[in-house]
Amino acid sequence: MSPKSKGPSTRPAADSGPRLSRAERRELRDYGERADWLLRESRRLLKRRGRKLSAAVREEVEGTRASLVSVCEPPPHERNIDSLQRAVNALDDSLARHLARYRKSATREYFEAIFWAVFLALLIRAFVFEAFRIPTGSMIPTLQVHDHLFVNKFIYGLKIPFTRIKFLEFRAPHRGEIIVFEYPYDDDPDSTGKDLIKRVVAVPGDRVRLQNNRLILNGDQVPAQQTQVFGGCGEGGQSVRACDNAPASWCVYAADGEGGERQVLGHFAARGDAQAQSLAMDGYACASYHECLGGIAFTSQIRVPVERGGLWRGQVNDPDWPPPRFEAGRFGPHARRYAPPENGDWPEFVVPEGHLLMMGDNRDNSKDGRFFGLVPYDAVKGKAGFVWFAYKDDFYRPNFDRIGTLVHQDPQAGEDCHP
C-alpha cells in the first residue's frame, strides 16, 4: 500500500525553504520509489490490458499517469512532497478501481523474483559457467588440491542439460587446454559419474607416446625446459617454512592438523637441511619442466626417487607409454587398445576421431587417460577458466596470491611458446 497521507500541507520542495527533516527526506524517498514502481506497472498494464478498458476509463488512467510523470520530472531532491503524494495516491487508486484483477500482489512479485533468479542461475550453470573443485593432486603444480574454479561450458558448444547430447557445437578442444569432463565409463565405482580435470595432450589424428617421461607428439618431442632437478612435489606431505616460534630457524611441519595447527617434525638451522629431511620423509622428490603444447605454456613435474631406509620410492607411472602389454589388474579395460595386438602403431598410439587423450601435469601421480582410456567428445563439459578461491598448504587459510588467477597462464614459463 502507498504511504498514508498526512493531510494537506504546504511543505516545500527538498531544496527550497526550510530544510527537510530526516523523516521528511525518508518519506520523499519512499514516495519516489513507489512512484517509479507505479509508472512501470501502469505502463505494463496499459500495454497488455488497455484494450479491455473503455475509452473513458483508459483516458482517466492515462491522465493520472501523466500527472505523476509530470510531478516526477524534477530531480528527486527538488520534488514537492505533497504533489508527489497526491499523484501517487491518485494513480494507485485508479489502477485499483479499474485494473485490480490484473495487478501483481506483493507475494506474487516476491515468488516471481525468486523463480527468475533461480532460473537464471540454472541457465548460467547449464550453458555458461559452472563451479568445480579440484579433488586430487593430479594437476599439481598447475592446480592445487581444493582449488575452486569456474569452468567455461559455452566455449565448446551447448548440450541438453543432464545429458551428453550436444545441440550446438562451436569448436573442439585444443592441445594443451585443461578441461573438465565426466568420467566416460562405468568400470570404476569410485569414478563413474564424477567430473575429472586433466590436460589435453593429444587430439584426433595425433601420434603420441611418452619416452623417459617426455611427451613426443607426431614424431617431435614437446618443447620442455627443466626448471627443478630435485625438490618438493607439493602433494600435501610435509611442508617447510620458518618456525613459528623461532623465525630464524626452519621447521618441517606435518600435513595434518586442524585450524592451521601442525605438528613440528624437526627444527633445522638451514632451509636446505629442512627440505632434505622433508623429502626423505615423503620418500620422493620431483623434477619440474616448463612445457609448451598447442601454444600454451605450463609446468609439469615427475617424481625422482629418494633413499628411505635403504629402499627407493619414486615413479608411480611408467616413464614410457604406451605399454608393451596390457595388464588387466593395473589398467582399465578401455586401455587395452593402447597395447599390442590392438595397437598396431605401437610404440606410438594414434588418437581416433571424436576422442581425446588426457594426462595430468603431475605425470607420475595421475590416474588419467593412460589408465582409464580415451575421453570421447560428448563427455567434455568445459574448459577451465580461472581460480575463484584457493587455500594455502594447510587447507585452512585463503591464498590471496592465487585467487583470481587464470588457469591457462603460467607467468614463469617463457613467452616464446607457439602452437
Continuous H helices in 134-270: none
Q: What is the dihedral of CA 312, 317, 318, 319, to 10 degrees?
A: -90
Q: Who contacts 5 (Cβ-Cβ below 8 Å, separation ≥6)?
A: 85, 86, 89
CA-closest candidate to residue 19, choices 28, 6, 32, 7: 28
For residue 387, what is its C-alpha cell? 581460480
Residue 11 carries which DSSP code?
A: P
What backbone phi and psi angles, to 5 degrees, belong to 336?
-60, -30
* DSSP string for residues in 362-376: BGGG---HHHH--EE
Number of residues written out for the chain = 419
User: Grid coordinates in use for 357?
Assistant: 587423450
User: What is the torsion angle, in degrees rounded to the nearest 10, for the CA atoms of residue 117, residue 122, residue 128 and residue 132?
Assistant: 110
SS3 412: coil
Dist. CA 224–CA 226, nearest whole Å: 7
At position 193, the amino acid (one-letter code) is G
Give the C-alpha distances (Å, rounded to integers) separating 387 from 91, 172, 301, 381, 405.
51, 23, 21, 17, 5
One-letter identity of residue 342: E
Grid coordinates belonging to 271: 632451509
C-beta of residue 63 within 8 angstroms of C-beta of residue 19: no
C-alpha cell at 265: 617434525
The cell 626423505 sits on which residue?
A: 280
Question: What are the catalytic residues?
Answer: 138, 198
The C-alpha atoms of residue 285 and residue 246 are separated, in whole angstroms, by 26
Evaluate whether 366 touches 317 at the Cβ level (below 8 Å): yes
